[in-house]
Amino acid sequence: MVLYSTLNPTRFGVYSCAFGSLFMEEKYPFNQIEPKWQKFWTDHKVFKVDTAVHEKKYYCLTMFPYPSGTMHVGHGRNYIIGDAVTRYKMVRGFRVLSPMGWDAFGLPAENAAKQRGVHPKEWTYSNIKQMKRQLESWGIGYDWDREIATCHPDYYKWTQWVFLKLHERGLAYRKNAPVNWCEYCTTLANEEVLADGTCERCGRKVVKKDLTQWFFKITEYAGQLLDDLSLLEKWPEKVRTMQGNWIGRSVGARIDFTIAETGDPCPVFTTRPDTIYGVTFMALAPEHPLVAKLLKNNPRAAAIQAFVEKEKMGSAADRTDNTTKKEGVFTGFHIRNPYNGDLAPLWITNYVLMEYGTGAVMAVPAHDQRDFEFAKTYDLPIKVVIQNPAAALNAATLTEAYVEDGVMVNSAPFDGRGNREALHDMIQHAQDHGFGEFTTHYRIRDWLISRQRYWGAPIPIVHCPDCGVVPVPEKELPVLLPDDVDFKTERGNPLSYHEEFIQTACPKCGKPARRETDTLAQWLCSCWYYLRYVNPRLNTQAYKKEDVDYWLPVDQYIGGIEHAVLHLLYSRFILKVLHDADTCSFREPFNALFTQGMICKRSEKDGQLYKMSKSKGNVVSPDELIREYGADTVRLYTLFIGPPEKDAEWNDAAVEGSFRFLRRIWRRVYETRDTLLASKGLKPDLAKMETPDRDLYRKLHESIAKITHDLEGAFQFNTAIAQIMELMNAVEALKLDATSSDQRKAVMLETMESLIVLISPFAPHVAEELWQELGHPPSILAAPWPEVNRNALARDEIEIVIQLCGKIRSRETIPTSLSPKEIEAHVLALDSVKNIIEGLTVRKVVVVPGKLVNIVAT
RNA sequence: GCCCGGGUGGCGAAAUGGCAGACGCAAGGGACUUAAAAUCCCUUAUCCGCAAGGGUGUGUGGGUUCGAGUCCCACCCCGGGCACCA
């Protein structure tokens, strides 16, 4: 027994010839073969790709992780699936780009710094080291020469460049936005504010504060992002639906109402201009800019102000909860309906949102449920303008709004028309008369990308007293994040106290100016990383157009469903901008998307099933399992656990089953190796095989067909592995030794060699070792994927089912050579079948060749 | 409320409209062993039956079909997303 540590790694090339059976012992020595092959893959740069070479490419990308510390087996599923795809495609002869990196900016690093005094950089890089070790111990194959970390200046230089591209194109702008503000922790997300209005982390009081912040105009691309979803045929329907909902297109019209008393315009957005003759009041959001004007010299000012203040103080959650009671206050003013000149009262209400549409709603209580509820509360008039053709509506007796289609009434020139049919003409009418137009509105808002945080890429902007907001020129990038900041004593964003960082010269006029101290949202770093992997060390550009045009879109993107909307939508947006800036020629970053389910485990505390997480205390560490069973077992079990797109429950006991299976393969090769090696050169010959060998040979080729199918279509690793298990069961049913027939030996050799290749994407270490044991030079990644021999699939006889009126009555073995007519005659002539139909009249016989015969008899 | 998924043995699950429960886990029985571990063999949806065999079974109720876990209609439950979106 020679230990791995005594081997000279440079001799791996000739290893198979010189020391073929080095580890070949009865016990499955996973703890020796796994490090050996991991080292082999690393030393020989097996996963290295030269992206300058353009030939039969496949870009397989697994979402890169946030380096939070150590990973559990739930994280592993993502990488194991990606690696199975990568290795499968490599064996199929593709040049596969499979890179990995780190989404390394973000809040946890900064919190660690504040709490424990570790610098975010140190914390992040030490986590990266840990997690990289874990990925390697799983045997995941990456081209590590392409490793990137978004917190590295060589990377974020180009994140800043992406920002400049958007700025150049007018897509980055500043505006005021209210934020939750904690003086110590700076801006907080809604979920970081506790119910009592204090900060989740430090317990201090949180206040609303108006801050000028940077936004990206994703709304400008809303239509394209929505329309192009239809191009993403290889994305899960679910994700496309979610993105569609998120973007939320509403097609309708802008109609310009005016305030009768002041003449002020008051435009509204509506999807139902067909109900415009039914407007009986107008509803404004409390934040509507007209409100201030309406207060002047208004005898109702006090009541109005009280209502508006009350609503502004209320939480966003209360405001947008549709069970909240609808309330409002009359302004004393009226609006004029441009279609008929009618006047209607102007109210301020709590159910209209300033963020959507124009912040003003034309209220039609007869045909909108919310307006109806409000009208009932305040006893406002209700006017039916769409008649229900089935049962006439009466405004006085309505109990809810009628929102269905119908015939227009009380609508002057449009009376008698179907409301849907008249819609276009009604908007056209407004457009012709200059008081409205066709408009489309989107639910999606612009993307807030500035963060009042240290651990992010500085926004490359300088504020000059003379020139205003000036972008840092590309040649001066990166704007480096200083290391020497104090996390202990400073409040808020440490960068905003760092005078050396802040003080600079204006790039335009050269006079003293101040740097922007906000940093870019972590999201932006991960919006373009898939491009950088193609040219990760290029220091003159973010990427080469020629290379990304060849390698992208990503052929297969693999990640968690939790990124269905934000990461994937933002990435699509950024890519579209980079396309429009002529830096690449494709419009979508990810051709196919696969979202794997989460791994859950029952909590020992309450017995409930939860997603694995440290806080729930239900994590399973891969490190221990790898020590006990090996990485191949963990990989095989993870893939076998169930359909990869569905959530799965981790079962410690079931891991053992995968281990036993690998050990069975190992033992079989151990026991038959000499015979197999001596059988080289023997070829299976269908004409000469005895039945058991013939059956195994068929099983082998059925398995090749099934497994190939399972890997080519959806990622059905679980059924592919089940098929390998079936094949192995069939192998073990047949003895093999030196005295076996030549055909037995030939079939066994082909079967074992194929089986090892078939399992190699899932359990690569043991596959490499056994492949070598059977006399092949490494690596198995260079082996050909087995091909289906159609002749091997043929059968002379087959068992079919005999049904009487759809109920199974017997099973019969019949020759496969019979035509459907012959099958019918053959079956009806059988004694067993005669018994079944005795005394009955056969009405019909359904023959499904190879499956069944159904006799309909009464 | 609306929009997506999903509901099959003790458990994870499998099944182009054609033999429901492949494959694995767990459990029970047996072989080997002084013993244990490991390994191997058998049983394992459910009901009736000594057995041969038969009945019932894929959330519920209907329907289409020679034939439905699979297709259609209605409903119940679970998971996810969105939600006063004008």
Question: What does the DSSP assignment read for A602-652?
Answer: E-TTT--EEE--GGGT----HHHHHHHH-HHHHHHHHHHSS-TTS-EE--H
Q: How far is the CA of A649 from the C1' of B11 (A)?
A: 10
3-state secondary structure of A325: coil
Q: Is the CB of A643 under 7 A from strand B?
A: yes
Q: Is the CB of A846 under 7 A from strand B?
A: yes
Q: How far is the CA of A678 from the C1' of B33 (A)?
A: 35
Of all nucleotides, the one whose C1′ comes closest to residue A648's CA is B12
d(CA A488, CA A221): 42
Return phi, psi of residue A468, to 5°: 80, -140
Confidence label for A200 from pLDDT (cuts 50, 70 and 90): confident
Of all nucleotides, the one whose C1′ comes closest to residue A322's CA is B84
Say if strands A593-596 and A556-560 run parallel, antiparallel, or are unpaired.
parallel
Confidence label for A398 from pLDDT (cuts 50, 70 and 90): confident
Each residue's pLDDT tens digit, A553-562: 999 999 988 8
Positions 224-253 of A with beta carbon below 7 A from strand B are 237-238, 241-242, 245-246, 248, 250, 252
Residue A427, pLDDT above cutoff 50 = yes
* Helical (H) or strand (E) element with A252: strand A249-259
**Lowest model confidence (mean pLDDT) among A6-10, A370-374, A429-433:** A6-10
pLDDT value of position A828: 87
Q: How far is the CA of A663 from the C1' of B12 (A)?
A: 21
Is pLDDT larger for residue A381 or for residue A2? A381
Number of Cβ within a 10 Å radius of residue A633: 25
Q: How far is the CA of A568 from the C1' of B21 (A)?
A: 39
| Mutual angle of helices A30-43 and A764-773, in 10-degree steps | 90
Q: How far is the CA of A238 from the C1' of B79 (A)?
A: 13
Residue A339, pLDDT above cutoff 80 = yes
Among residues of chain A, what percentage have pLDDT more than 90? 61
- In sequence order, which residues have a C-beta less than 8 Å from that of residue A749 and are 6 or more positions away? A676, A679, A680, A682
Q: How far is the CA of A658 from the C1' of B80 (A)?
A: 31
**Lowest model confidence (mean pLDDT) among A138-147, A262-271, A392-401, A472-481:** A392-401
pLDDT value of position A64: 95
Q: Is the CB of A671 under 7 A from strand B?
A: no
pLDDT value of position A316: 58
Positions 688-717 of A with beta carbon below 7 A from strand B are 716
Question: What does the DSSP assignment read for A271-284?
Answer: S-GGGGGG--EEEE
- The stretch A425-449 carries a mean pLDDT of 92
Closest among A135, A126, A142 to A623, alpha carbons compared: A135
Positions 318-347 of A with beta carbon below 7 A from strand B are 319-322, 324-326
Is pLDDT larger for residue A422 or for residue A607? A422
Q: Is the CB of A807 under 7 A from strand B?
A: yes
| Mutual angle of helices A717-732 and A631-640, in 10-degree steps | 110
Residues comprising chain A, all counted:
858
**What average pLDDT is seen over chain A?**
89
pLDDT value of position A24: 60
Confidence label for A169 from pLDDT (cuts 50, 70 and 90): very high
Of all nucleotides, the one whose C1′ comes closest to residue A850's CA is B18
**Lowest model confidence (mean pLDDT) among A323-327, A383-387, A785-789:** A323-327
d(CA A363, CA A275): 9
Number of Cβ within a 10 Å radius of residue A468: 11
Most distant CA pair in chain A, distance: 110
pLDDT value of position A19: 40
Residue A718, pLDDT above cutoff 70 = yes
- In sequence order, which residues have a C-beta less than 8 Å from that of residue A314 and are 6 or more positions away? A350
Q: How far is the CA of A119 from the C1' of B48 (A)?
A: 74
Please, which positions of strand B sit below 7 A from a protein CB?
3-5, 11-16, 18-20, 22-26, 38-41, 54-55, 66-68, 79-86
d(CA A700, CA A588): 40
Within its chain, how far is the Cα of A520 from the centroid?
22
Residue A779, pLDDT above cutoff 60 = yes
pLDDT value of position A494: 85
- The stretch A400-423 carries a mean pLDDT of 89
Residue A605, pLDDT above cutoff 80 = no
Closest among A312, A348, A304 to A327, alpha carbons compared: A348
**Region of A805 on the Ramachandran plot (φ > 0 left; ψ -120 to 50 alpha; else beta):** left
Signed CA dihedral, A262, A265, A270, A275: sign only: positive
Closest among A602, A455, A472, A369 to A125, alpha carbons compared: A455
Q: Is the CB of A90 under 7 A from strand B?
A: no
- Cβ A536 vs Cβ A574: under 8 Å: no
Residue A1, pLDDT above cutoff 50 = no
Positions 247-306 of A with beta carbon below 7 A from strand B are 248, 250, 252, 268-272, 285
Of all nucleotides, the one whose C1′ comes closest to residue A710's CA is B14
Of all nucleotides, the one whose C1′ comes closest to residue A441's CA is B85
d(CA A130, CA A146): 18
Whole-number CA gyration radius for chain A: 35
Of all nucleotides, the one whose C1′ comes closest to residue A852's CA is B18
Return phi, psi of residue A462, to 5°: -120, 135
pLDDT value of position A831: 83
Q: Is the CB of A725 under 7 A from strand B?
A: yes
d(CA A406, CA A385): 9
3-state secondary structure of A770: helix
- The stretch A500-525 carries a mean pLDDT of 94
Q: Is the CB of A438 under 7 A from strand B?
A: no
- In sequence order, which residues have a C-beta less than 8 Å from that of residue A176 and are 6 or more positions away? A210, A211, A212, A213
Q: Is the CB of A572 under 7 A from strand B?
A: no
Within its chain, how far is the Cα of A107 from the centroid?
22
pLDDT value of position A180: 79
Is pLDDT larger for residue A237 or for residue A587? A587
Return phi, psi of residue A166, to 5°: -70, -40
Residue A28, pLDDT above cutoff 50 = yes
pLDDT value of position A33: 92
d(CA A16, CA A5): 17
- The stretch A475-491 carries a mean pLDDT of 85
Confidence label for A7 from pLDDT (cuts 50, 70 and 90): very low
Among residues of chain A, what percentage have pLDDT more than 70? 95
Positions 443-462 of A with beta carbon below 7 A from strand B are 443
Q: Any alpha helices (H) in A19-147, and if so which ranges?
A: 30-43, 73-91, 107-116, 120-137
3-state helix, strand, coil in chain A (%, to 5): 40, 20, 40
pLDDT value of position A315: 60
Confidence label for A857 from pLDDT (cuts 50, 70 and 90): confident
pLDDT value of position A491: 72
| Mutual angle of helices A742-759 and A717-732, in 10-degree steps | 160
Structural tokens at position A121? 């950089």
Positions 543-562 of A with beta carbon below 7 A from strand B are 561
Confidence label for A5 from pLDDT (cuts 50, 70 and 90): very low
Q: Is the CB of A370 under 7 A from strand B?
A: yes
Residue A838, pLDDT above cutoff 70 = yes
Which domains, and CATH codes, for chain A?
A: 178-214 (no CATH), 249-442 (3.90.740.10), 624-641+652-792 (1.10.730.10), 797-857 (3.10.20.590)
d(CA A715, CA A556): 11
Residue A568, pLDDT above cutoff 50 = yes
Q: How far is the CA of A550 from the C1' of B45 (A)?
A: 54
Q: How far is the CA of A843 from the C1' of B14 (A)?
A: 35
pLDDT value of position A489: 63
- Top mean pLDDT of A151-165, A210-224, A490-504, A784-798 is at A151-165
Q: Is the CB of A844 under 7 A from strand B?
A: yes
**Lowest model confidence (mean pLDDT) among A547-556, A592-601, A750-759:** A592-601
ipTM (interface predicted TM): 0.94
Question: What does the DSSP assignment read for A404-448?
Answer: S--EE-S-GGGTTSBHHHHHHHHHHHHHHTTSEEEEEEES--PEE
Is pLDDT larger for residue A320 or for residue A66? A66
Of all nucleotides, the one whose C1′ comes closest to residue A364's CA is B86
Residue A733, pLDDT above cutoff 60 = yes
Q: Is the CB of A514 under 7 A from strand B?
A: no
Each residue's pLDDT tens digit, A657-680: 999 999 999 999 988 999 999 999
Confidence label for A490 from pLDDT (cuts 50, 70 and 90): low
pLDDT value of position A195: 66
Q: How far is the CA of A806 from the C1' of B71 (A)?
A: 18
Confidence label for A608 from pLDDT (cuts 50, 70 and 90): low
State the burial class of residue A741 (Cβ atoms within 10 Å of its Cβ: 0-12, 13-18, 19+): middle
Q: Is the CB of A805 under 7 A from strand B?
A: yes
Closest among A628, A177, A820 to A447, alpha carbons compared: A177
- The stretch A324-331 carries a mean pLDDT of 87
Is pLDDT larger for residue A830 or for residue A634? A634
CA distances from A123 to A110, A451, A487, A585, A656 (A): 9, 20, 14, 38, 36
- The stretch A283-290 carries a mean pLDDT of 91
CA distances from A794 to A37, A168, A701, A747, A798 (A): 39, 66, 10, 16, 10
Q: Is the CB of A602 under 7 A from strand B?
A: no
DSSP assignment letter at A65: P
Of chain A, the end-to-end C-alpha distance in Å amounts to: 74
- The stretch A63-84 carries a mean pLDDT of 92
- The stretch A816-827 carries a mean pLDDT of 88
Each residue's pLDDT tens digit, A524-547: 999 999 999 999 999 999 999 999
